Structure 1
């Protein structure tokens, strides 16, 4: 009787195994066939975002390949803490005939109303901002989310600004004595973004030659 039960268990286990093997193979094939196109779509989306930040500039290099590692724990650059990065991230350079014409620098405003606000700040070689985009945040819909371009054009107000335009004390929102607009009922979010963009400009000014030459 015991042998009969054992044979039955073995038989059922083999049957389940035979059913599971094809399913596993199908899943593996689906993953293999789809992972390539997904990765390519992600690469194209990232490349499009970087190009959008310098829509008025010409360059002859591959932005995704011409990148610099920014390690918050490293001393490769001066005052990396200005960027407030939580992990190693990348800056992307534009080049024309081998010369850097601009750079895209990541940063995090840690003092958003609901936490971190991730930014990409595109800076021309002369220190002027080409564009800024928010890439991640958890700000309140209808209030703080106006930092997003699809929701509001507020973020466009930083284009062509620099450390000298306006002067440093005015690099904040109007409620704090600056020149930049805030949102009705939501001052914390725009102030966090504005002052972090200023920090990125300061980081660029301190490391301009090194960022261009590495």
Structure 2
């Protein structure tokens, strides 16, 4: 005869198995919807940072790169190319600030071939509400301070928060977040500027089509 403690253990194990099964089914059912929402959000930001560009043209002219020393992540990131009269006029780069206060900050940055930052937006973050979340455009216009800012030899020292001698404001009580974002955007611009071969690489972002 099975002792009561053994019956309880079996019952708990059975309940745990059922819960795991339900969670697995729920994840499978919701995963496509979540992915769809993330893609829609990304496309909206894509249009926001480069409004002159046609969305489908950007999607059709996309390259996948791995450049952790420049773009902050060891996995694949997308670079969308906007062409005028056959020449690349701007890139829209997915980049990551790996050293945010609460973890990685995902960004999307429009950059001219000469390294000028045209616009930047936050894709995803886990920064502290009321402090670090000022990197969201709906919370603050701070991200607009990157509009049309050149990243060239004479301006490199200015690409820092004011506390570090740069031109960009830090947030009251939260310097780590803006510092991480400024450096990530600067590195993305330098990557574009110093890698002209990106203009001629074949498209390979099938997953984004």
Task: Give the alignment's TM-score, normalised by structure 2.
Answer: 0.74
The aligned residue for residue 50 of structure 1 is 46
* Structure 1 residues 104 and 40: CA distance shift in structure 2, 3 A: same
Query: What is the CA distance between 1:58 and its match in structure 2?
Result: 4.7
* Structure 1 residues 212 and 176: CA distance shift in structure 2, 3 A: same
| Mapped contact 2:47–2:55 kept (Cα < 8 A) | no
The aligned residue for residue 210 of structure 1 is 197
SS at match of 2:120: strand
CA distance in 2, matches of 1:124, 1:102: 4
- What runs of 5+ residues in structure 2 fail to find an aligned partner? 1-24, 202-209
1:182 aligns with 2:170: yes
Comparing 118-127 and 192-201, the one that deviates more: 118-127
CA distance in 2, matches of 1:145, 1:44: 21
**4+ residue runs of structure 1 moved beyond 6 angstroms?**
37-41
Q: How many residues align?
A: 173
CA distance in 2, matches of 1:41, 1:171: 33
The aligned residue for residue 109 of structure 1 is 97
CA distance in 1, matches of 2:91, 2:186: 15
Task: Give the alignment's TM-score, normalised by structure 1.
Answer: 0.72
Over aligned residues, Cα RMSD in angstroms?
2.5
The aligned residue for residue 143 of structure 1 is 131
The aligned residue for residue 163 of structure 1 is 151
Residue of structure 1 aligned with 2:61, choices 59, 66, 91: 66
- What runs of 5+ residues in structure 1 fail to find an aligned partner? 1-26, 73-79
1:99 aligns with 2:87: yes
| Aligned counterparts, 1:117-132, within 5 A | 117-132=105-120
Question: Which has the larger Rg?
Answer: 1
Query: What is the CA distance between 1:166 and its match in structure 2?
Result: 6.5
CA distance in 2, matches of 1:186, 1:210: 38
CA distance in 2, matches of 1:189, 1:41: 26
Bigger relative CO (Cα 8 Å, ≥ 6 apart): 2
Query: What is the CA distance between 1:148 and its match in structure 2?
Result: 0.6
* Structure 1 residues 182 and 165: CA distance shift in structure 2, 3 A: farther
CA distance in 2, matches of 1:125, 1:108: 20
| Mapped contact 2:47–2:53 kept (Cα < 8 A) | no
* Structure 1 residues 178 and 85: CA distance shift in structure 2, 3 A: same
